[in-house]
Amino acid sequence: MTRTIEIVECGTASERKCVSCGTTHIKPGRRYCTKECRQQIDWVLSLSKGLLRTFNARYAAFSFSTTHVVLDVLPVCSDKISRFITTRTGGSKPANDLKTLVLQYGEEWHNLVDNNKSRSYASLFLLSKNCKKSTSSDSIKPEKNMRPRLSKHENASLKILNLDREDLFTDCNVVKIDSAYKSMAKVCHPDVGGDNEKFKELAEARRQMVMWVENPQYTSRKALEGCWSYDGFTGRWSPPL
């Protein structure tokens, strides 16, 4: 599900950006620009769990733009989102700015408790103070995303047939496999001057993918498009889709 946020620039499927810092200087097939960048965001998101548990969060979402970082929280037994936001520091990575946000609101919570306010009062006060009534609670509820789980050989077969993973989701996936096979066979078949070994590879690729369709395997995870998502039941953060 794509979140509509006024100031936060969530990524799109066509953009290849580091999900930790947003840089476009990233190698093909990678989700992070460096190992250090991944470790940094993992550590800060882990740090944020203390604040999220304090707020009794059912779901949360973290997103950032060039100017702000935002932490949206949906508490248990509530349909209202509370938005915690802070301005980006020039030259700083989003992980550092998120750490500043977490420490800022954590300190504010502790100050309330130190001034003879109960823990529950302190949490409810901050949640109410930052309540964002105009934002739908569904916007930070992650949806299950399923993808075909393919072996290295099956991935190679898909490439030989010039098919995409999305073609395996359709009801007519076998028809698409056969159609791709027949189209390639017109070029690869030895009777039309094609290479015999390549034709064998093509036939084997078709056999492999038909076998997969007969017994499909999938991987699934719950996540949001363009934003990090937190599930209070599991206590885990998931990177953007």
102 and 88 in a common domain: yes
**What pLDDT is recorded for position 65?**
93
Query: Which pLDDT band holds residue 2 (cuts at 50, 70, 90)?
Result: very low
Q: Which of 96-104's residues contact partners 24+ apart within 8 Å by CB, and which partners?
A: 96/40, 96/44, 97/64, 97/69, 98/44, 98/45, 98/48, 98/62, 98/64, 98/69, 98/71, 99/44, 99/47, 101/69, 101/71, 102/44, 102/47, 102/48, 102/50, 102/51, 102/71
Domain range enclosing 72: 35-141+221-238
**What pLDDT is recorded for position 63?**
95
**For 42-88, what is each residue's pLDDT tens digit?**
999 999 999 999 999 999 999 999 999 999 999 998 999 999 999 99
Distance CA 134, CA 159 (A): 45
**What pLDDT is recorded for position 193?**
85
135 and 50 in a common domain: yes
**What pLDDT is recorded for position 5?**
42
**CATH number, position 210:** 1.10.287
The answer to whether position 120 is within a domain reads yes
The answer to whether position 225 is within a domain reads yes
57 and 89 in a common domain: yes
Average pLDDT rounded to a whole number, residues 158-171? 88
How many structural domains is the chain composed of? 2
* CA dihedral angle for residue 202, residue 172, residue 219, residue 71, rounded to 10 degrees: 120
The answer to whether position 87 is within a domain reads yes
pLDDT: is 32 or 149 the higher one?
A: 32
155 and 132 in a common domain: no
128 and 49 in a common domain: yes
**What pLDDT is recorded for position 23?**
93
The answer to whether position 10 is within a domain reads no
The answer to whether position 155 is within a domain reads yes
190 and 96 in a common domain: no
The answer to whether position 22 is within a domain reads no
The answer to whether position 5 is within a domain reads no
122 and 96 in a common domain: yes
212 and 226 in a common domain: no
**For 29-38, what is each residue's pLDDT tens digit?**
789 999 999 9
Average pLDDT rounded to a whole number, residues 127-144? 89
The answer to whether position 1 is within a domain reads no
Which of 15-19, 92-96, 237-241 has maximum average pLDDT?
92-96
- What share of the chain in percent tops pLDDT 70? 92
163 and 196 in a common domain: yes
Distance separating the N- and C-terminal Cα atoms of the chain? 9
